[in-house]
Structure 1
Amino acid sequence: METKIFSKDQLDDAVKLLAKGELVAFPTETVYGLGAIATNEKAVKSVYAAKGRPSDNPLIVTVSGEEMMSRYVEKVPERAKKLINQFWPGPLTLLLFVKKGALPKAVTGGLPTAAFRCPDDKLTHDLIAKLGYPIVGPSANTSTKPSPTTAQHVYHDLKGKIAGIIDDGPTKVGLESTIIDLSVKNPVVLRPGKITPDELSKVLGEKVRINSGKVSDKEVPKAPGMKYRHYAPSAPVTVVDHADDFAKIDLNNETGVAALKGELGKIDLPDENKFNLGNNLTDADHNLFSSLRYFDDKANIKHIYVQGFSDGESSLAYMNRLNKAAAGHHLNV
């Protein structure tokens, strides 16, 4: 299969492919998503096949707004309306009860709930509006690999497996959306993102908890990122919690280091063995997946060390992704 790269002026061509049941990757402000019409079960199953994604890992439904979402949910509760008014379009996904039979089992994993998101990207809004249907939107990468933040990342993983990619340049946020479960009595964040639990709590006027439980092997997760290995390059990753500890590592030509600019200057490695995460945590959020992909493409790199942060809720999303990439391995010195 030829994978075509579409510019914003070729949106109609991408719409035609989706309408025919083909897969097209699309941009969002967080990461690139892999699109298929959410009500087309055959197309949705093709998403799992293209990504190599476990079939019991539910998909996010990408909509153009509350009106489109309301076609599929039992009702839009008041809590959801408050969050929509404050954060949509944006990096927030809402888990709600769906109408029976409204979405295929391949989308919901057989659960009575589904996750809905309205991304802050005009191209994607136009795409969904022209299509007239919501699209599923898991990250457009090979399952377990770092999420894609450029069209080139998507092409690297899925060339020949999907029909097209809409290129809108690098994503702005760089980490996937916050997922909040509104199907329970007390709202809970199932996956942290740019929008923090504290911000959600202030809008809702009630405490938003953070999920700390683990999903068993036999259990279907409510949302992506809760059960399976994610974001991992081929080489093992270790989290370095204290920047001063980089000096205690036996670094060599087979090691890669991703850290803030100020820390990289202290590290005695060739430039090609170093990745600049930027000047601050916001930059690091944006660049984390790119750093992991950078080293994944280097055959000589046998181990990757990445700077960690302990900045409370502001570093929650970054550390969630990095810990998954590192399988929980932190430097012990």
Structure 2
Amino acid sequence: MTLLLGAEEVERAAALLRAGDLVAFPTETVYGLGADARNGRAVAAVFEAKGRPHFNPLICHFPDAEAAFAEVVADGRARALAARFWPGPLTLVLPRRPESRVDLLAGAGLDTLAVRVPGHPLSLALLRAAAVPVVGPSANRSGEVSPTTARHVLDGLSGRIAAVLDGGPCEVGVESTVLDLAAGEATLLRPGGVPAEAIEAVIGPVARPMPISATQAKGALRSPGMMLSHYAPSLPVRLEARDAAADEALMAFGPPLPGAGRVWQLSEGRDLREAAARLFAGLRWLDAEGQRLGLARIAVMPVPMEGLGAAINDRLERAAAPR
């Protein structure tokens, strides 16, 4: 049985983590599935609970930059970004220190680690109380829609994990931006809650990622969230919809197209921050309603690529990928 813990039960959640159990916890992006990153069995249990491929590395969460940089080698760029964006939705991929306590499985056996300091007060309280590095991939079955509420976590993982620490709905709603600083040139591996333009304002030019269709051909992945078919509902997804049919569930951005069997509004006012926060909940709702009503697919209206739109479109492209 999976416990639902309130905000006042942080110490209980921390004790479960130290004991090797899995605890889902809120961040500003999505709910993470937490485990003691030093404990190989606990990390393996994360992969098992999620059904996650073992070559997809996990992000390690820390209460502050000092704790994170004790596990990785941070250059001036990393420290400048940490000072600007941590706590917050930015993950840095950096060289792993030889003395790092993080289990190799958490980093998929690579010579790098993905680290971040989350921006949710309850996750920071949990990390301070646990006093261990905590891996925290999204708290859902691998390839399914990421959870932005405690109920979403229970819908997918109830009975598979020890507890969920309930911190209410997530504010950002898409995962963290992942930036690789380990190979010299700064490279964006995954768009997310911090736009690339904001990063470039701190450290200068950032190389953009390879097309996601090429990532699986490269073998071991350097970042979480780079699988091709990911964030996938059960119904097929049709992108860039300019019309909608009666047998389609519509994800609207702005005034909705007429004729759809069901409609979820990302943002009537075309606000990208609102759209990001409502994206995963919308995919879940449209998928459930579409299946209940016998609809054929989910149609998605165009979302612009600037700012958080890059992260939204990245998730939608993965949701629509063949599987």
TM-score by length of 2: 0.93
1:255 equivalent among 248, 256, 265: 248
* Cα distance in 2, alignment partners of residues 38 and 303 from structure 1: 39
Classify the secondary structure of the residue corresponding to 1:110: coil
Farther-moved stretch of structure 1 (40-49 vs 318-327): 318-327
Note the C-alpha offset of 1:186.
1.2
Q: Which residue of the partner structure matches residue 317 of structure 1?
A: 311
- How far off its partner does 1:105 sit? 2.0
SS in 1 for 2:94: strand
- Aligned partner of 1:32 in structure 2 is 31
RMSD across aligned C-alpha pairs, in angstroms? 1.7
Matched residues in 2 for 1:291 and 1:216: separation? 27
CA 1:216 to 1:141, structure 2 compared with 1: closer, same or farther past 3 Å? closer
> d(CA) in 2 for partners of 1:312 and 1:91?
17
Is 222-231 or 208-217 further displaced after alignment? 208-217
Alignment of 1:83-232 (within 5 A): 83-100=81-98, 102=100, 103-204=102-203, 206-213=204-211, 214-217=214-217, 219-232=219-232
CA contact (8 A) 1:100 1:112 kept: no
Whether the aligned pair in 2 keeps the contact of 1:255 and 1:304 (CA below 8 Å) is yes
Equivalent residue of 2:115, what SS? strand
Q: 2-side partners of 1:189 and 1:105: how far apart?
A: 23
Match for 2:250: what amino acid? V
**C-alpha distance in structure 2 between counterparts of 1:313 and 1:292, whole Å:** 21
How far 1:306 moved relative to its partner? Answer: 1.0
CA-to-partner distance for each residue in 1:20-79, whole Å, 9 max, x for gaps? 100000000000000000000100000000000011110000111111112211x22111
TM-superposed CA distance for 1:217, in Å, is: 4.3
Distance 1:223 1:96, change over 3 A: same
What TM-score do the two structures reach when normalised by structure 1? 0.91
Unaligned runs of 5+ in 1: none
Q: Which amino acid aligns with 2:221?
A: P
- Shift in Å at residue 216 of structure 1? 4.0
The DSSP-based 3-state class of the residue aligned with 1:179 is: strand
1:263 match: secondary structure: coil
Give 1:301 deviation, angstroms. 2.9
- In 1, Cα distance between the equivalents of 2:26 and 2:295? 30
1:207-230 superposed Cα distances (whole Å, 9 cap, x missing partner)? 111112523446110011223421
Aligned residue type for 2:297: H
Q: 1:269: Cα distance to partner?
A: 3.9
Tell whether the 8 Å contact from 1:295 to 1:301 is kept in structure 2 after alignment. no
Alpha-carbon contact 1:197-1:209 (below 8 Å) kept: no
Conservation of the 8 A alpha-carbon contact between 2:236 and 2:296: yes
Residue aligned with 1:199, SS: helix
Q: Which residues of 2 match residues 16-31 of structure 1 at below 5 A? A: 16-31=15-30
| Number of residue equivalences | 315
Question: Which SS does the other structure have where 2:215 is aligned?
Answer: coil
What letter corresponds to residue 88 of structure 2 in structure 1?
G
- Distance, in Å, in 2 between the alignment partners of 1:169 and 1:314 is 22
